[in-house]
């Protein structure tokens, strides 16, 4: 297990589990949310006696949230997290809506994905964002104080997660300085960091950049995002920068910038794929093409469906021999843009199925919902081709999960270069999702690829992803902040 020399305070928009009311007892219970981040990071928080600061998912309008202990039968990574290790952030619903829907999802999400036409700039939402970040910062300082009182020798490591908390670092540092508390602050962004040309559209870009620079260490998935950030700091704030060493000097502090590509619990997916019963019949005649995404406009779903339709027009031999299975998790369903995207997809799929279906075959199967990881692993394993073709994506974990689940005859991964994953998964078939004709040619190539070539590509992808799994990511992070316990490099053995 990866170990940290410092007690860790994870600060994220959400707690690592969902709270659900038991109607019979009237008490809240923990319901697991099994994301990769939680799986990897929660054990370090448990092991270092650290804390997790996050919104509970409830609006109690001033009332206290009582965090329940884990159920004795709980085997999840957060089971070891005692209630006193969890600090819930409680925010009044209107303010939360302005911060979360108004600023995070209506401004930062599209802007950071280089889709500025979709971004809304509104000073009131920005003010709400500032206020909520201050509240997160206030509770983080409570966490730092708690840990320091327990062990004054150790410097707590605060790890801020994602675009919800871009402004928290400076407030945390100022309050810690005032109270004489030592602290190390790191940040990790899960989405892309855009180029200066895009960032400069944000009216308060200087404040935002200064907010991020309040950290000691800043992590992005890939080098391109690091360089974009460094570029913005130089051009907007006039900071001295070193692109080779990835350093930014700000207010006489030097901030380290690190490419830290996130990954998945590889062995867990591999084992799930080996154990799961068959979910789709993938006989020699019927090949499954799979798409798995949150239903989001950045994921390029309509472009993908268009390319699939074109495939059936251009290569009619695939009719009745291929099924495209799209699994989409509902996301941000209360936002108009997402509702419109869903309607658009429903119509496209209906039209294409109407156009090509025969008595025994429909070209597209569509599941709109969340499915279990075991089931997902089986879908990955039993599909001949996976289409991971976002228009823009920080990393994309689906590409990695698909690779981990190829435990039998390998399939083919078709990957967009506009996902962070496209940066390293070079043996995938790369495709520009905006170019429909080339896209359908690439699907055709994947469907007709000789077995030897599939094996060669997939084994190489698997070797890399097995080595660089989520534990490797966590280890690299701790190393980047000089908190990795028993770092072999320090002993001179690497």
Judged by CB under 6 A, the residue of 256, 329, 356, 479 near ligand ADQ is 329
Q: In the window 91-110, what residues touch ligand ADQ (CB under 6 A)?
A: none
Check residue 335 for interaction with ligand ADQ (CB under 6 A): no
Measured over the CA atoms of residue 201, residue 202, residue 204 and residue 207, the dihedral's sign is negative
Q: What share of the chain is helix, strand, coil (3-state, %, to 5)?
A: 45, 20, 35
Active site residue 393: yes
Judged by CB under 6 A, the residue of 120, 174, 274, 370 near ligand ADQ is 370
Check residue 386 for interaction with ligand ADQ (CB under 6 A): no
CA gap 32, 225 in Å, rounded:
31
Active site residue 190: yes
Judged by CB under 6 A, the residue of 309, 393, 465, 469 near ligand ADQ is 393
State the catalytic residue, choosing from 113, 162, 164, 190: 190
Judged by CB under 6 A, the residue of 58, 95, 115, 371 near ligand ADQ is 371
Stretch that binds ligand ADQ, among 25-33, 287-295, 406-414, 435-443 (CB under 6 A): 287-295
Check residue 378 for interaction with ligand ADQ (CB under 6 A): no
Check residue 376 for interaction with ligand ADQ (CB under 6 A): yes
Check residue 79 for interaction with ligand ADQ (CB under 6 A): no
Q: CA 348, 351, 354: angle at the middle one, nearest 5?
A: 145
Check residue 469 for interaction with ligand ADQ (CB under 6 A): no
Residue 186's φ and ψ, nearest 5 degrees, are -125, 160
Stretch that binds ligand ADQ, among 17-25, 117-125, 348-356, 392-400 (CB under 6 A): 392-400
Could you give the C-alpha distances from 239 to 142, 219, 253, in angstroms and in order?
A: 32, 18, 11
- The count of residues interacting with ligand ADQ (CB under 6 A) is 18
Judged by CB under 6 A, the residue of 144, 227, 288, 398 near ligand ADQ is 398
CA gap 432, 415 in Å, rounded:
8
Stretch that binds ligand ADQ, among 40-48, 132-140, 240-248, 288-296 (CB under 6 A): 288-296
- Whether residue 184 contacts residue 102, with contact meaning beta carbons closer than 8 Å, is answered with no
Stretch that binds ligand ADQ, among 68-76, 233-241, 242-250, 369-377 (CB under 6 A): 369-377
- Whether residue 12 contacts residue 162, with contact meaning beta carbons closer than 8 Å, is answered with yes
Check residue 276 for interaction with ligand ADQ (CB under 6 A): no
- Residue placing its CB nearer to ligand ADQ in the complex, 322 or 376: 376
Tokens coding 188:
């990790």
Check residue 429 for interaction with ligand ADQ (CB under 6 A): no
**Cβ neighbours of residue 229 under 8 Å, at least 6 residues apart?**
193, 212, 218, 220, 248, 257
Q: In the window 12-41, what residues touch ligand ADQ (CB under 6 A)?
A: none
**Least distance between ligand ADQ and beta carbon 291 (Å):** 9
- Whether residue 377 contacts residue 390, with contact meaning beta carbons closer than 8 Å, is answered with no
Check residue 294 for interaction with ligand ADQ (CB under 6 A): yes
Could you give the C-alpha distances from 206 to 202, 440, 476, in angstroms and in order?
A: 9, 43, 29
Check residue 191 for interaction with ligand ADQ (CB under 6 A): yes
484: helix, strand or coil: strand
- Residue placing its CB nearer to ligand ADQ in the complex, 7 or 433: 433
Q: How many CB atoms lie within 10 A of CB 446?
A: 22
Query: What are 21's strand-pairing partners?
Result: 28
CA gap 102, 19 in Å, rounded:
24
CA 266 to chain centre: 16
Tokens coding 221:
């998935």
**Least distance between ligand ADQ and beta carbon 376 (Å):** 6
Stretch that binds ligand ADQ, among 40-48, 80-88, 343-351, 368-376 (CB under 6 A): 368-376
**Least distance between ligand ADQ and beta carbon 477 (Å):** 12
Mode of pairing for the β-strands spanning 412-415 and 28-32: unpaired
Judged by CB under 6 A, the residue of 216, 401, 465, 469 near ligand ADQ is 401
Q: Report the interface residues with ligand ADQ, using CB under 6 A.
A: 190-191, 262, 292-294, 327, 329, 370-371, 376, 393-398, 401
Which residues are catalytic, by number?
A: 190, 393
């Amino acid at each position: 297990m990866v170990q940290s020399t410092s007690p860790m305070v994870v600060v994220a928009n959400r707690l690592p589990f969902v709270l659900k009311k038991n109607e019979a007892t009237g008490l809240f219970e923990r319901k697991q949310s099994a994301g990769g981040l939680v799986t990897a990071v929660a054990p370090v928080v448990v092991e270092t006696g650290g804390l997790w600061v996050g919104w509970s998912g409830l609006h109690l309008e001033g009332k206290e949230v009582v965090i329940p202990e884990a159920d004795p039968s709980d085997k999840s990574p957060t089971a070891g997290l005692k209630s006193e290790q969890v600090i819930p952030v409680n925010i009044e619903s209107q303010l939360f809506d302005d911060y979360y829907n108004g600023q995070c999802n209506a401004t930062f999400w599209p802007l950071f994905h280089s889709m500025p036409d979709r971004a809304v700039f509104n000073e009131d939402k920005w003010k709400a964002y500032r206020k909520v970040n201050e509240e997160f910062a206030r509770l983080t300082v409570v966490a730092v104080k708690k840990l320091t009182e327990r062990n004054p020798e150790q410097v707590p490591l605060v790890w801020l997660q994602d675009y919800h908390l871009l402004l928290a670092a400076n407030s945390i540092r100022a309050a810690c300085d005032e109270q004489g508390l030592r602290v190390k602050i790191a940040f990790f962004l899960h989405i892309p960091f855009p180029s200066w040309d895009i960032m400069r559209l944000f009216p308060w870009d200087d404040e935002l950049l200064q907010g991020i620079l309040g950290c000691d260490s800043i992590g992005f998935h890939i080098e391109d995002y690091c360089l974009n950030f460094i570029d913005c700091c130089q051009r907007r704030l006039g900071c001295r920068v070193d692109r080779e060493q990835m350093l930014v000097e700000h207010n006489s502090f030097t901030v380290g910038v690190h490419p830290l590509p996130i990954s998945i619990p590889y062995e867990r997916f591999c084992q799930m794929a080996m154990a799961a019963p068959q979910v789709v019949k993938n006989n020699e005649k019927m090949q499954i093409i799979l798409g798995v995404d949150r239903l989001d406009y950045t994921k390029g779903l309509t472009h993908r469906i268009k390319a699939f339709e074109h495939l059936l027009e251009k290569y009619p031999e695939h009719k009745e021999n291929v099924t495209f299975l799209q699994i989409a998790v509902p996301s941000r369903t209360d936002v108009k843009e997402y509702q419109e995207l869903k309607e658009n997809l429903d119509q496209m799929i209906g039209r294409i199925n109407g156009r090509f279906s025969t008595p025994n075959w429909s070209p597209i199967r569509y599941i709109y919902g969340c499915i279990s990881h075991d089931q997902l692993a089986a879908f990955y394993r039993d599909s001949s081709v996976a289409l991971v073709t976002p228009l823009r994506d920080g990393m994309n974990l689906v590409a990695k999960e698909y690779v981990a689940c190829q435990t039998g005859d390998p399939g083919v991964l078709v990957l967009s270069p506009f996902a962070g994953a496209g940066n390293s998964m070079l043996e995938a078939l790369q495709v520009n999702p905006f170019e429909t004709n080339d896209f359908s040619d690439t699907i055709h190539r994947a469907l007709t690829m000789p077995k030897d070539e599939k094996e060669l590509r997939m084994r190489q992808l698997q070797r890399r992803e097995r080595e660089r799994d989520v534990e490797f990511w966590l280890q690299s992070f701790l190393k980047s902040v000089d908190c990795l316990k028993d770092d072999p490099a320090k002993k001179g053995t690497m």
